[in-house]
Amino acid sequence: QVQLQESGPGLVKPSETLSLTCTVSGGSVSSGSYYWSWIRQPPGKGLEWIGYIYYSGSTNYNPSLKSRVTISADTSKNQFSLKLSSVTAADTAVYYCARVEGGYVYYWGQGTLVTVSS
């Protein structure tokens, strides 16, 4: 059974960098044809793909966020991470890490709320 758990600050100041880590258990971020992904959901709004890191290490980002996003993986810790720079209030959301396979998400983290506020 694969489990994913997000961790990181729940409050970030405007213009700073949001940093989150996803710890994976029951599976490896460096094996299998999986896209290790970040997805977010602003309060009361819909879901938005942020981007992913493929098991091979290649990355792809939502074009609307591409200039501010970096996703990386630490295979020694079986974790992958999200950095989102120059945040504003519009980046306030529940952030989910997830494992994508074949175009769908079966495994989701529980989600973590990140609020951007001074």
Partner 1 sequence: QSALTQPPSASGSPGQSVTISCTGTSSDVGGYNYVSWYQQHPGKAPKLMIYEVSKRPSGVPDRFSGSKSGNTASLTVSGLQAEDEADYYCSSYAASNNFVFGTGTKVTVL
* Residue 22 token pair: 């996803």
Region from 24-32, 59-67, 76-84, 85-93 binding partner 1, contact rule CB under 8 A: 59-67
2 is a site residue for partner 1 (CB under 8 A):
no
Please give the residues from 8 up to 27 whose contact with partner 1 meets the rule CB under 8 A: none
Whole-angstrom distance, CA of residue 27 vs CA of residue 48: 24
Whole-angstrom distance, CA of residue 97 vs CA of residue 94: 10
Among 5, 7, 49, 68, contact with partner 1 (rule: CB under 8 A): 49
**Closest CB 51 distance from partner 1, rounded Å:** 9
Residue 71, number of CB atoms within 10 A of its CB? 21
* Residue 63 token pair: 């074009």
Phi-psi region of 68 (alpha: psi -120 to 50; beta: other; left: phi over 0): alpha
48 is a site residue for partner 1 (CB under 8 A):
yes
**Closest CB 46 distance from partner 1, rounded Å:** 4
Interacting residues toward partner 1 by CB under 8 A:
37, 39, 46-49, 52, 60, 62-64, 96, 100, 102-106, 108-111
